[in-house]
Amino acid sequence: MESQKPIVYICTNLRPEHSPKPSCARRGSEKFLEIFKQELNANGCADKVDIENSGCLGACEDGATVMFFEEQIWYGNVQESDVARIVKEHIKEGKPVEELFIRRLMTRRKAL
């Protein structure tokens, strides 16, 4: 049976070291999945979302990028230290972390 939980994508795309275009894995995103899982468990909300690594989400200049698919919420310049906050405030408390938004990509949402 397919999961009905909202999906959170973590871009873990890795470009070559001297690529002119940045990539999220070079900004630390490959560690995010494990940190998300730890924080979801610690906050008692592991059953609230599915977290998946993804290829490039097209927001490379703003990476590392995390995207809440159903809500069309895009987080940019995400650091390891931001993951705990995203889990606690957004997933557990239902209050997205506005200061990490990539606002130009949230066009399918109502004005915030």
Residue ranges in contact with ligand FES by CB under 6 A: 11, 13, 23-24, 56-60, 63, 65
Which C-beta is closer to ligand FES: that of 30 or that of 71? 30
Least distance in Å: CB of 2 to ligand FES? 25
Which C-beta is closer to ligand FES: that of 42 or that of 55? 55
Least distance in Å: CB of 100 to ligand FES? 14
Least distance in Å: CB of 66 to ligand FES? 10
Q: Answer whether 76's CB lies under 8 Å from 61's CB.
A: no
Sequence-distant (6+) residues with CB within 8 A of 39 are 83, 84, 87, 88
Which C-beta is closer to ligand FES: that of 23 or that of 51? 23
For the chain, first and last CA: distance in Å?
Answer: 35
CA distance 60 to 74: 12
CA distance 96 to 81: 16
